[in-house]
Amino acid sequence: MNNSIAQSVVQTLEKVLSKEKDSIALHEPVFNGNEWQYLKDCLDSGWVSTAGKYVDVFESKLAEFTGAKYTIAVINGTAALQLCLKLVGVGADDEVLMPALTFVATANAVTYCGAIPHFVDSEESTLGICPEKLEDYLCETVEIKHNECFNKKTGRRIKAIVPMHTFGHPADLDPLSQICKRFFITMVEDATESMGSYYKGVHTGNWGKASALSFNGNKVMTTGGGGAILTNNEYIAKKARHLSTTARLSHKWEYDHDCVGYNYRLPNINASLGCAQLEQLPEFLNKKRTLVDRYRDVFEDVDGVSVFTEPDFARSNYWLNVLLLNEENIVLRDEILEQTNRQGIMTRPVWKLMHRLSMYKNCPRMELHVAENLEKRLINIPSSVVLNGHN
Amino acid sequence: MNNSIAQSVVQTLEKVLSKEKDSIALHEPVFNGNEWQYLKDCLDSGWVSTAGKYVDVFESKLAEFTGAKYTIAVINGTAALQLCLKLVGVGADDEVLMPALTFVATANAVTYCGAIPHFVDSEESTLGICPEKLEDYLCETVEIKHNECFNKKTGRRIKAIVPMHTFGHPADLDPLSQICKRFFITMVEDATESMGSYYKGVHTGNWGKASALSFNGNKVMTTGGGGAILTNNEYIAKKARHLSTTARLSHKWEYDHDCVGYNYRLPNINASLGCAQLEQLPEFLNKKRTLVDRYRDVFEDVDGVSVFTEPDFARSNYWLNVLLLNEENIVLRDEILEQTNRQGIMTRPVWKLMHRLSMYKNCPRMELHVAENLEKRLINIPSSVVLNGHN
């Protein structure tokens, strides 16, 4: 690839993307359903805050859609993940395995629990944690004592692992589950990017003992800001609901709380938006598949770059589409980012890897060759539902 | 007071409150302004999440209303308070002085910082921290070393104090500020209940180095869920904005973060509601003053109970109105709560005092006679804006 090929990437993107707008966002929401009606109903009823019928409806519709037995709607994906970790027993000075290739919230949620992120490598076929490398690494790094996993170097307990479904693409959950069993590690899925993504026919978020969803404005569907905890464990569900409502004990008028809780429940007004968005999600997901099909079509003719495609076992929501540069073309990543953004087509590289961030640079980690390689080669391209690929 | 007087409290409340509804809430919101228009504008523009013009407008209107130089809108009052404490330098193992008579979020926010609540007593004239008792207590309890305040018993630093403006009534901020200077303690105001309340002509939240507001659904004005940080310190304002947006460094496309941040910004959709509510706030405050005037009128004839009135130096928002039983009538508190709630008039006692909650029972504290006495005598009565007192 050379500069002219960088140019051809831009031209190929332009083929797909409407030029009616001055700038094309990476991911913007669509509100063509019952959003109006439900918001108005909130105002008319006076219920806009952390109690109200839309919170209940949203939770039950989410459970239905994802197949998870229990869902608890909260203020955002980070809060959801923090509570998930706390609820599976992650505490001060525990280590939590997670990909180095993730958004910073995954590591922050661990830090809020007083625990330490421990970074592991990814695999190119899923963009998620590589089960094979992980297993080899754990064999060398940990010892099992009384059915708990300890890092031999640091002496700290490794309590949990957080597979993150990168850009909506499911990590390879079956082998990861096997590893969890073998090494006595609890799985919490960071499914904040994978609402509408399935692994072997089952919605993501059903493998973790508890899992986190996000409905931020840039996600497949949005509540403004919001998230949810998914779990199939009744005790965790009850406790999640309790912790997210300041741990207040039920009473007609008394304000008693039995532990340190959080003010994390999703307001009714945001839940009402979520109800309307969830109704449209199947249509959103279809449109997003049309878009990636179109991207694949047009990039077939461009040498040195490929469009990331879900593995056979997955059905991805294709939240953010991914271009991968071939090894020999790594040097042009920044040029492509420059040219596309200059022309109003928003693109971006993957997040700075976690072990390069100043506050996480001293955390334990395995060697991270694949993540570091992907970081150099990966570009996210516009992926909104409105870009149906045939403008 | 005897049972028949309990009955007369109920009858007196009924005089003021409309009986058109089956039940009368403690505080419900009103949406008679531009709420619908602004919400619609959010949907039409596609901006519903943590960026958007309503967040900016809301912040600037809040600054104008409160007189604080800087405001940062966040997801709720608890998050605001947590960030305030962090920003003034409260860290692990510090102690933070606060009233035992407060909502649990005050103590929780301290706990989230790894710090320890240290409970102090209240005074009946403000329902807030008693400056006189506090000063005597500090003289006995602390020592100053290198311009820092240390608890002689625990050895821990006392970094901050959090006056809470109970039910909207300003604590006595001037003497508290003097004490802060003398003992090298930083003030953070928990102004989550006092939007629209003034101390000596200046809006609450301007005495603390940073202060927290709340716009929960039960407050004087609401954003569904939401809060804000007020500060007159430019550095703290910048840092608050940074920390509340995952500490991301500004860049066209890179995702770099320079410290552990939070996902705490208020979504645009909630801010739009706040803009509409803020426009109506002066009217809300007037109506609430009419209501408390009416309460005072009717309760003048009832022996053994009085309606709490702001001290001369304050102009309170009268968020939640307060009935105080005379000493000799303490025994009838629960009977009045029972009778009113049974008849659909929602009332409640003050929150269980912090030092009685299981997770805070071992925290340091002074003797708390006034708070404990108020707990036995205090009843909150319906205070919504819609109850104009002349039904």
Please tell me what DSSP assigns to residue B147: T
Per-position DSSP letters for A61-98, written without gaps between them: HHHHHH--SEEEEES-HHHHHHHHHHHTT--TT-EEEE
Taking a C-beta distance cutoff of 8 angstroms, is the pair A128, A99 a contact? yes
pLDDT of residue B1: 45
Using pLDDT thresholds of 50, 70 and 90, give the confidence band for residue B50. Answer: confident
CA distances from A15 to A105, A298, A318, A391, B139 (A): 34, 8, 19, 8, 75
Based on the domain organization, do A274 and A138 belong to the same domain?
A: yes
Residues A60 and A11 in one domain: no
First-to-last C-alpha distance (Å) of chain A: 27
**What gap in Å lies between CA A252 and CA B345, rounded to an integer?**
12
In a shared domain, residues A190 and A335: no
d(CA B271, CA B226) in angstroms, rounded, equals 8
* B 226-285: CB under 8 A from A: 246, 248, 252-263, 265-270, 273
CB count, 10 Å around CB of B282?
11
What pLDDT, in 10s, does the model give residues A291-324?
Answer: 999 999 999 989 899 999 999 999 999 999 999 9
Say if residue A259 is in the same domain as residue A322.
no
Q: Is A343 on the interface with B (CB under 8 A)?
A: no
> Do residue B162 and residue B93 come from a single domain?
yes
CB crowding B42-72: b at 16 or more within 10 Å, else e? bbeebbbbbebebbebbbebbbeebebebbb
List, for residues B320-356, the tens digit of each pLDDT value.
999 999 998 899 999 999 999 999 999 999 999 999 9
| CATH number, domain with residue B226 | 3.40.640.10
- Is the residue at B387 inside a domain? no
A293 within domain boundaries = yes
pLDDT at B152 over 80: yes
A105: alpha, beta or left? (left if phi > 0; alpha if psi -120 to 50): alpha
A216 vs B50: CB contact, 8 Å cut-off?
yes
Among B32, B266, B269, B274, residue whose Cα is nearest residue A277 = B269
Q: Residue A391 — very low, low, confident or very high, per pLDDT cuts 50/70/90?
A: very low
- Number of residues assigned to chain A: 391
Q: Within an 8 Å CB–CB cutoff, is residue A92 touching chain B?
A: no
Chain A from 96 to 125: CB within 8 A of any B CB: 103-105, 108, 111-112
Q: Which residues of B6-31 are buried (b: 16+ CB within 10 A; e: fewer)?
A: bebbbebbeebbeeeeeebbbbbbbb
| Whole-number pLDDT of residue B124 | 98
CATH number at residue B290: 3.90.1150.10
Smallest Cα distance from B66 to chain A, Å: 23
| Nearest Cα residue to A166 out of A307, A351, A329, A306 | A351
Radius of gyration of chain A (CA): 21
Segment B86-137, tens digit of pLDDT: 999 999 999 999 999 999 999 999 999 999 999 999 999 999 999 999 999 9
Element (DSSP H or E) covering residue B294? helix B268-299
Residues of A in contact with B357 (CB under 8 A): 256-258
Q: What is the pTM of this model?
A: 0.96
- Same domain assignment for residues A108 and A207: yes
- Pick from B77, B112, B263: which is nearest to A76 by CB? B263
CA–CA gap between residue A265 and residue A55 (Å, rounded): 9
Residue A386 lies in a domain: no
Average pLDDT over residues A352-369: 98
Query: What percentage of chain B exceeds 70 in pLDDT?
Result: 97
Q: Is the pLDDT of residue A3 over 70?
A: no
> Within a domain: residue B333?
yes
Number of domains chain B is built from: 2
Query: Closest partner residue to A260 among B43, B111, B253, by Cβ?
Result: B111
pLDDT of residue A389: 58
Q: Tell me which residue range forms the domain holding A342.
A: 3-31+280-381
Q: Give the separation between CA B143 and CA B152, rounded to whole angstroms.
A: 6
Nearest Cα neighbor of A135 from A100, A177, A95 is A177
Q: Does B78 touch chain A (CB under 8 A)?
A: yes
Question: Could you tell me the CA-to-CA distances from B18 to B12, B28, B220, B387 in Å, in that order?
Answer: 12, 14, 20, 7
Q: CA angle, B293 as apex, B289 and B296 as ends, to 5°?
A: 140
For residue A335, which of A326, A347, A352, A320 has the smallest C-alpha distance? A347
Q: Among residues B258, B278, B298, which one ends one of the domains? A: B278
Is the pLDDT confidence value at A20 over 80?
A: no
Contact A349, B254 (CB under 8 A): yes
pLDDT of residue A22: 77
φ, ψ (nearest 5 deg) of residue A205: 100, -5
CB neighbours (10 Å) of residue A330? 14
Distance, in angstroms, between A208 CA and closest chain B CA? Answer: 23
pLDDT-derived band at A47 (thresholds 50, 70, 90) equals confident
Residues A202 and A88 in one domain: yes
Is the Cβ of B35 closer than 8 Å to some Cβ of chain A? Answer: yes
Cβ neighbours of residue B303 closer than 8 Å, sequence gap 6 or more: B1, B5
Domain boundary among B278, B295, B310: B278
Name which of A48, A104, A260 is nearest B273 (Cβ-Cβ).
A48
Question: CA A106 to CA A81: how far, in whole Å?
Answer: 7
pLDDT tens digit string along A169-208? 999 999 999 999 999 999 999 999 999 999 999 999 999 9
The neighbour count for residue B313, using CB atoms within 10 Å, is 15
Task: Clarify whether residues A256 and A310 are in a common domain.
Answer: no
In a domain, A388, yes or no: no
Domain assignment of residue A390, yes or no: no
- Chain B residue with the nearest C-alpha to that of A29: B46
Q: How many CB atoms lie within 10 A of CB A91?
A: 12
Taking the C-alpha atoms of residue B224 and residue A267, their distance in angstroms, rounded to an integer, is 6
Q: Give the closest-approach CA distance of B144 to chain A in angstroms.
A: 30
The answer to whether the CB atoms of B352 and A265 lie below 8 A apart is: no
A59 inside domain: yes
B304 and B233 in a common domain? no
CB-CB: which of B78, B246, B270 is closest to A104?
A: B246
Q: Give residue A1's pLDDT.
A: 45
Backbone angles phi, psi at B34, to 5 degrees: -90, 15
User: What ipTM was estimated for this complex?
Assistant: 0.95
Is pLDDT above 80 for B253? Answer: yes
Per-position b or e across A70-83, b if 16+ CB within 10 A of its CB: bbbbbbbbbbbbbb
Backbone angles phi, psi at B363, to 5 degrees: -75, 150
- Looking at the complex, report in whole angstroms how far the Cα of residue B229 sits from the nearest Cα belonging to chain A: 16
Q: State how far the alpha carbon of A347 is from the alpha carbons of A28, A339, A379, A381, B90, in Å.
A: 13, 10, 7, 5, 39
**Do B120 and B134 meet the contact criterion of CB atoms below 8 Å apart?**
yes
- Six-digit token pair at B266? 């208020």
Verify that B22 and B53 share a domain, yes or no: no
Per-residue model confidence (pLDDT) at position A4: 79
List phi, psi (to 5°) of A137. Answer: -65, -45
Same domain flag for A11 and A116:
no
Cα distance from B205 to chain A (closest Cα, Å)? 21
User: What is the C-alpha separation between A210 and A87, in angstroms, rounded?
Assistant: 8
**How much of chain A exceeds pLDDT 70, in percent?**
97
> Which residue from A283, A362, A328 is spatially nearest to A107, judged by alpha carbons?
A362
Task: List C-alpha distances in Å: B109 to A234, A245, B204.
Answer: 28, 14, 19
Residues B296 and B324 grouped into a single domain: yes
Mean pLDDT of B193-219: 97
As beta bridge partners, residue A150 has A143, A157
In chain B, the largest separation of any two C-alpha atoms, in whole Å, equals 71
B75 touches chain A (CB under 8 A): yes
Residues 144-183 of A with CB under 8 A from B: none
Chain A contact probe: residue of B28, B40, B104, B378 with most A CBs at under 10 A? B104
A363 shares contact with chain B (CB less than 8 Å): no
Of B112, B256, B357, which is closest to A352 when you measure between CB atoms? Answer: B256
- For B46, phi and psi rounded to 5 degrees? 85, 0
Q: Chain B contact for A335, CB < 8 A?
A: no
Best CA proximity match to B114, nearest among B142, B85, B140: B85
* Nearest to A217, CA basis, from B265, B47, B56: B47
What sign results for the dihedral spanned by CA atoms A221, B77, B362, A256? Answer: negative
DSSP-derived 3-state class of residue B117: strand
Instruction: Report which residue type is found at B370.
Output: V
pLDDT score, position A49: 78
Is A259 within 8 Å of B358 when comparing Cβ atoms?
Answer: yes
User: How far is C-alpha B279 from the geometric centre of its chain's CA atoms?
Assistant: 21
Residue A117 lies in a domain: yes
Contact residues on chain A for B104, CB-CB shorter than 8 A: 246-248, 255, 257, 261
What's the confidence (pLDDT) of residue B186? 98
Domain boundary among B254, B278, B302: B278
